Amino acid sequence: MSRRIEQKFAALAKAGRKGLITFVMGGDPNLKTSRKILAALPQAGADIIEIGMPFSDPMADGPTIQAAGLRALSAGATLKAVLALAKEFRTKDDSTPVILMGYYNPVYHYGVEKFCKEASQTVDGVILTDLPPEEEEEFTSVAAKYDLKLVRLAAPTTDDTRFAKLKRHAGGFIYYISVAGITGTKSANMDDLKKRVRHLKAQSTLPVAVGFGIRTPKQAAQIAAFADAVVVGSALVEIIAKDSSGEKTAAFVKSLRRAVDNV
């Protein structure tokens, strides 16, 4: 049974620190570079890594993540290849939690049982952006067999009734989408965001991580003041698109780490 996510948040809380969660698209800009970037993220300061599963119809993603997915697909990335990336990462790092993030269609076509069985060998959780609680049973019933956490998304439009349904099978942490809309296009009002995060924390024992629209170390620090973790995706992916060496990517993650730790 993997307890990496729980152990990570417990260690952060004990140290009085907040988590930094980084999102990268699996296979972007190619599998070789993606492999190198993944390996460098924990050393740069990432507490948890989200690996995107590239998909041809990413309806919740903005232009930056869409472009990353297309680059990955064009370079030969598949769901099987992303699982292999996670497996290779795990051979050198047995402590950093890894979350796969994407859409249900590739998982469904891969085979839910096959996906959960293979993913659970190296991955700690899954975020399925388009899987509503009303239709989650065919996934959660299988994922539970392999102790694969379903990290749930909540949004500004999620009322208490809806959140009660979402958290029923939620595990690992709650990922709060700070703005309504697609990824990487706008930022949230901090006062409203703080109130919403506190409200969610009062309704769940799971940590709350905040993502969507966090583009700078300053914004990361502001959110870390009241959330359990900060998720940075689009801003990181933009750098990866122009950084074949991975050096600028690592430097950016280090700057985020310093900002979050200085809260």
Tell me the pLDDT tens digit for each residue of 186-218.
Answer: 566 788 899 999 999 999 999 999 999 899 999
Look at residue 105 and tell me whether its pLDDT is greater than 70: yes
Q: Is 50 a catalytic residue?
A: yes
Report if residue 263 sits inside a domain: no
Q: Are 152 and 170 in contact (CB under 8 A)?
A: yes
Instruction: Name the percent of the chain lying above pLDDT 90.
Output: 88
Tell me the pLDDT tens digit for each residue of 163-181.
Answer: 999 999 999 999 999 876 5
Look at residue 183 and tell me whether its pLDDT is greater than 60: no
| 28, 61, 118, 228: the active-site residue | 61
Number of domains in the chain: 1
Q: Can you give the residue range of the structural domain that contains 155?
A: 4-258
- Is the model more confident about 164 or about 183? 164
Fill in the amino acid letter for 141.
S
Token couple for 244: 């074949």
Look at residue 185 and tell me whether its pLDDT is greater than 80: no
Report if residue 31 sits inside a domain: yes
Look at residue 1 and tell me whether its pLDDT is greater than 70: no
Report if residue 172 sits inside a domain: yes
Distance CA 190, CA 184 (A): 16
Look at residue 127 and tell me whether its pLDDT is greater than 60: yes
Distance CA 258, CA 263 (A): 9
Distance CA 68, CA 64 (A): 6
Q: Is 61 a catalytic residue?
A: yes
Q: Give the CATH number of the domain where residue 171 resides.
A: 3.20.20.70
> Residues 21-31: what's their mean pLDDT?
97
- Is the model more confident about 87 or about 57? 87
pLDDT at 188: 63
pLDDT at 187: 60
Q: Are 185 and 62 in contact (CB under 8 A)?
A: yes
Tell me the pLDDT tens digit for each residue of 54-67.
Answer: 999 888 888 999 99
| 47, 50, 118, 228: the active-site residue | 50
Report if residue 24 sits inside a domain: yes
Average pLDDT, the chain: 94
Q: Are 260 and 227 in contact (CB under 8 A)?
A: no
Look at residue 88 and tell me whether its pLDDT is greater than 80: yes
pLDDT at 244: 80
Distance CA 190, CA 108 (A): 37
Report if residue 106 sits inside a domain: yes
Look at residue 11 and tell me whether its pLDDT is greater than 90: yes
Report if residue 132 sits inside a domain: yes
